[in-house]
Structure formats: C-alpha cells, structure tokens
C-alpha cells in the first residue's frame, strides 16, 4: 500500500518556514562551504539527518539531496525529483504541463492535463522511468478540462490512484456532464479535438479537500491551501522539501523562459475579491518557486505575483470601461482583444504572442472578466 495519506486538518503553520533561511548566500565562497559542511556533519553526528535540509544554504542542500540522503543503490534525483511533463497540447510544446512528484518510491502527478494528451503523458512518464501503474496519487488544482480531463481515464487504468480535489469540484469528477455541457458552450466547434474524453472518477478514489490539509508523499509534506479567484474550487499545493508551490492557474500564464505574466480568466467563476485572498495565502507561505500549468517553473514568486496582480486589475478596469461604451458584446470583445494583444506584443516576439494568447484563451478571458464586471454592477445597484 502506498504511504500516501491525509493528516486531517493539520495546521500548516509550523512547517511554513522558508526551505532555506533568508539572508544566506546562494553562491557561497569555498571556506563558507567547508565551514557549513563541518557544521552539518556535526549536526548529523549529534542529532541525525535533519527532517528538512534547512541548516545550510542552497549549495549544501543540493549536495545533501544528491549525496548524504541517498541510499547507495538509488540515485537521489530519481527518488526525490519534481519533473515537468510536457503534454504537448495541440502539438504545441510548453502549453500544458503536468508535474511529476517523486519521493522515496512514491509518485504523484499534479494536474495530468486533458484527455486529448493522455498518450503524450504516458510517453512522458515512460521517458522519466515511470508509468501510470506506478502512480499513487493525482493532485488536482482545479477541475477545468485542461488540468483534470485525463483523471478518470488514469484511474480506470490504475484503480488504486487517490485523486485529491476541492469539495466544490468533486461532484463534477464523479459526474462530469454539467462540466462538459458548460465547456461545450465555450468551445462549440472543437471541444473533443481540444480536450478529448473526460471519463467519470469513481467516488471511492476521491480525497476531498477544503484547504488546510497536509498530504504525505514519501518524505515530502504537501500543504493544501484554498485559492479561489480563477475557479471557485481552486486549491494550491505547497511542497516542503524544495519550497515549490503548485498554483495551477492562480498566478496566470507565464511560459518558462519568458518573464511576461498574463491573466487567464475564463467564465464562470472569476472573482477578483476572492483572488486577492489567494495571493495573500500564496505569499504568506513564502514559496521558493511556483509551478504553473501554463507553463513550468517561475523562480521569483513575489515579483511574479506583483506583475500578475497589476495586469489582472488593469485588464478588469479595461473590461469595465469597454463594456460601458461598446455598441455590442461582439464589439466589446474585439476591442478588449485588440488592446490586450497590443500589450502582449510590447513584451514578446510575435510567435510567443500567439502562443500566450492561444494558451490563455484571450477571448474567454474577456468573457470571464465581463461576467464578473456585470455581477459587480448588479451587486452595487
């Protein structure tokens, strides 16, 4: 049996320190390295291997991860890795990425992706020495098809998979008919081509989250936080060994290798007031890096969130202004898309502009913001 389990509503506060102490250099000089190795050796001799490699700086932590902690017959990187699996959605690399978490022989996937990329996911797993049957868990940030669509098919292939999902998303994993009907309104022409099948998940495989839980995966502890805003049932996962936060779509779209961060705000749940609380929850946990489904790692969470929050609020204000003066919904959407596209093009080369716009679904972002704007107006009147 896998040692995957929930520890109830354990408080996460005690483990919410940074993985490495603030103010320590990441590029230590040679004498500092020697001194820290000596300190660490003394600590291990007196008290054993620390639960987290918090005693030393990044360099030492790296050394520890790959040497001291490893059993001789197993390379540490294979035992305790976080790997991006590129779903190569619609033949486009770096559009949708799943994360493979490994720890002491236990494996979980964060957001496997849509049903249409299942075969690519299997190949990616094989390329990293794993298979669907060796997975213990799927951690869903939210149930949108581009994140969770493949889940049911994976569970049918491996019935011992535990699927972690927020309580508001869980009913739609058991019966995806409403979710699929609402997706069909957004993509009336090519839903199946884009996202493939979404197979129901048996209720007994679901592990229902509210936020505040801690999940154990081998040596890793993964704290769960409720992070609505993009979706009412969105959660984020905070892994303790490397300080990685798996934030789904809570911090927008930023394709690895670029610094530009773009909102993705599809209907029906967009809510900027709730979203503000989610930004606070993420920053409070001081992650060392973010993992975004679209796409990959972002190494400076505070700067990333500041840029994202600023653009999200500006695009919201732009939507409200356009809606106040546009002659029709179609004209409003066209105006929004022209202005947003011009802003993206100021920051990125032409090919990347198109990839961002396709991945984020810019037309849907307008619809989500417009819906939120109308709700705000109704609430105020």
Binding site for Zn ion (CB under 5 A): 146, 249
Residue 223, beta-bridge partner list: 214, 238
Q: Which two tokens mark 333?
A: 């959407």
- With respect to Zn ion, which residue has the nearer C-beta, 86 or 102? 86
DSSP-assigned letters across all residues of 100-128: EEEETTEEEEE----GGGHHHHHHHHHHT
Q: To the nearest whole angstrom, how small is the minimum distance from the Cβ of residue 97 to Zn ion?
A: 10
- Rounded CA separation 223/242 (Å): 13
- With respect to Zn ion, which residue has the nearer C-beta, 242 or 249? 249
- With respect to Zn ion, which residue has the nearer C-beta, 85 or 130? 85
Cβ atoms of 102 and 222 closer than 8 Å = no
| Strand order from edge to edge, sheet including 206-209 | 82-86, 97-103, 106-110, 137-139, 162-166, 206-209
- With respect to Zn ion, which residue has the nearer C-beta, 19 or 252? 252
Q: To the nearest whole angstrom, how small is the minimum distance from the Cβ of residue 21 to Zn ion?
A: 34
Residue 139, beta-bridge partner list: 110, 164
Residue 10: burial class (beta carbons within 10 Å; 0-12, 13-18, 19+):
middle
- With respect to Zn ion, which residue has the nearer C-beta, 249 or 271? 249
- Rounded CA separation 116/24 (Å): 45
User: Helix/strand/coil (H, E, C) string of 11-44?
Assistant: CCHHHCCCCCCCCCCCCCCHHHHHHHHHHHHHHH
- With respect to Zn ion, which residue has the nearer C-beta, 146 or 239? 146
Q: To the nearest whole angstrom, how small is the minimum distance from the Cβ of residue 150 to Zn ion?
A: 13
- Rounded CA separation 111/173 (Å): 13
CA angle in degrees (0–180, nearest 5) for 58-63-66: 120
Q: To the nearest whole angstrom, how small is the minimum distance from the Cβ of residue 230 to Zn ion?
A: 8
Q: To the nearest whole angstrom, how small is the minimum distance from the Cβ of residue 234 to Zn ion?
A: 10
Q: At 237, phi and psi to the nearest 5?
A: -120, 135
- With respect to Zn ion, which residue has the nearer C-beta, 12 or 262? 262
- With respect to Zn ion, which residue has the nearer C-beta, 32 or 364? 364
Q: To the nearest whole angstrom, how small is the minimum distance from the Cβ of residue 111 to Zn ion?
A: 8
Q: At 139, phi and psi to the nearest 5?
A: -105, 115
Q: To the nearest whole angstrom, how small is the minimum distance from the Cβ of residue 94 to Zn ion?
A: 13
- With respect to Zn ion, which residue has the nearer C-beta, 124 or 146? 146
Strand-pair category, 162-166 with 137-139: parallel
Torsion angle defined by CA atoms of residues 121, 262, 178 and 159, in that order, rounded to the nearest 10 degrees: 30
Q: To the nearest whole angstrom, how small is the minimum distance from the Cβ of residue 104 to Zn ion?
A: 30
Q: To the nearest whole angstrom, how small is the minimum distance from the Cβ of residue 144 to Zn ion?
A: 6
């Amino acid at each position: 049996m896998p040692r995957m389990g929930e520890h109830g509503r354990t408080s996460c506060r005690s483990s919410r320190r940074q993985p490495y102490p603030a103010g320590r250099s990441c590029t230590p000089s040679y004498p500092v390295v020697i001194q820290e190795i000596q300190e660490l050796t003394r600590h291990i001799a007196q008290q054993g291997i620390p639960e987290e490699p918090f005693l030393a700086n990044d360099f030492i932590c790296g050394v520890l991860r790959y040497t001291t902690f490893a059993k001789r017959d197993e390379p540490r990187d294979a035992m305790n890795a976080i790997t991006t699996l590129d779903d190569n959605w619609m033949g486009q690399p770096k559009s949708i990425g799943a994360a493979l978490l490994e720890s002491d022989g236990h494996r979980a996937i964060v957001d496997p992706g849509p049903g249409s990329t299942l075969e690519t996911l299997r190949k990616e797993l094989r390329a990293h020495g794993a298979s669907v049957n060796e997975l213990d868990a799927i951690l869903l940030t939210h149930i949108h098809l581009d994140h969770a669509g493949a889940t049911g098919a994976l569970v049918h292939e491996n019935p011992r998979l535990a699927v972690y999902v927020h309580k508001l998303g869980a009913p739609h994993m058991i019966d995806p008919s409403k979710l699929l009907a609402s997706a069909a309104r957004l993509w009336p022409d090519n839903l199946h081509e884009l996202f493939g099948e979404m197979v129901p998940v048996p209720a007994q495989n679901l592990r229902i989250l509210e936020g505040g839980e801690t999940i154990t995966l081998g040596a890793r502890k993964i704290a769960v936080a409720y992070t609505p805003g993009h979706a009412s049932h969105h959660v984020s996962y905070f892994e303790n060994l490397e300080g990685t936060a798996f934030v789904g779509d809570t911090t927008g779209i930023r394709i690895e290798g670029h610094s530009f961060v773009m909102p993705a705000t599809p209907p029906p749940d967009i809510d900027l007031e709730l979203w503000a609380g989610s930004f606070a929850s993420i920053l409070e946990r001081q992650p060392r890096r973010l993992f975004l489904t679209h796409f990959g790692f972002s190494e400076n969470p505070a700067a990333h969130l500041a840029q994202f929050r600023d653009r999200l609020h500006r695009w919201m204000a732009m939507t409200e202004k356009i809606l106040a003066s546009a002659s029709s919904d179609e004209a409003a959407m066209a105006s929004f898309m022209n202005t947003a596209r011009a802003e993206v093009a100021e920051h990125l080369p032409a090919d990347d502009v198109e990839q961002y716009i396709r991945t984020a679904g810019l037309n849907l972002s307008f619809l989500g913001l417009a819906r939120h704007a109308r709700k705000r107006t109704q609430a105020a009147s």
